[in-house]
Copies of this chain bind each other. A is one copy, B any other.
Amino acid sequence: MATARSAAAAAEKRRLILDAAVRVFARQGFHTCRVSDIADEAGVAYGLVYHYFRSKDEVLDTLFLERWNVMLDAIREVDTQDILARKKLEAIAGFIVDSYRHDPDLMKVIIVEVTRAANSFGQTHLAKITEAYNLIGAVVEKAQAAGEFRSDISPQFAAMAFYGAIEQVLTGWIFDSLPQSAGGFDEAKRLIVETICSGLDR
């Protein structure tokens, strides 16, 4: 039987297509690229994309869900730790910034084509996206109950401000509105958390 070997080979081919799709989506955008662009980039025939995926949409869905679920797990894991909320937010911001550092193309695709494109794809994944806000909101809420954070700012709101700040910074990097200086990644984590937790006031 060739099942074991085939399964591994099949997974590899699937991954090959997914990785090619990331590069193509990042370069040309989901709407603007053709399925043949993905096939060409992966070095496979057009039809093979449809052997591994039901549709062009499913390719993007897969990329998004793979990464987003990893992030949700990471946030949940952080929240189980017995540390200050500020440290938790640092860890979350750090995870997201590191995701970008590790694979900027993938993060660009997720942010530009899914998270920030709530009309088309975001709608499908709205629940998943909202889950992230809720997890962050829960971190804030507990910190308020524990007296670490002030209680006159709704946790949902704080979560939006925090996540929004991160996403805007990534978007700035993605489109070169914000310089990506060397060592800027660690600096970025610090600045985001510092701003949200301590504020701009002197």
Contacts and interface: CB of A to CB of B under 8 A. Distances in A.
Contacts of A188: 157
A18 to B, nearest CB: 19
Interface string A139-157: 0100100011110111011
Given A31-B120, A198-B199, A160 B169 contact: yes
Contacts of A161: 165, 168-169, 191-192, 195-196
A116 interface: yes
Interface stretch (A56-64, A65-73, A174-182): A174-182
Nearest to A134: B177
A173 to B, nearest CB: 10
Contact of A133 (B123, B177, B199): B177
Interface-central residue, A112, A129, A158, A202, by most chain B CB under 10 Å:
A202
A43 interface: no
B157 A169 contact: yes
Instruction: Give the interface centre of A140, A167, A199 by most chain B CB atoms within 10 Å.
Output: A199
Contacts of A163: 168
Contact of A120 (B29, B160, B164): B29
A40 to B, nearest CB: 20
Contact of A164 (B133, B140, B164): B164
Nearest to A115: B116
B117 A150 contact: no
Given A140-B200, A161-B165, A163-B168, 4 more contacts: A129-B177, A157-B178, A157-B191, A160-B165
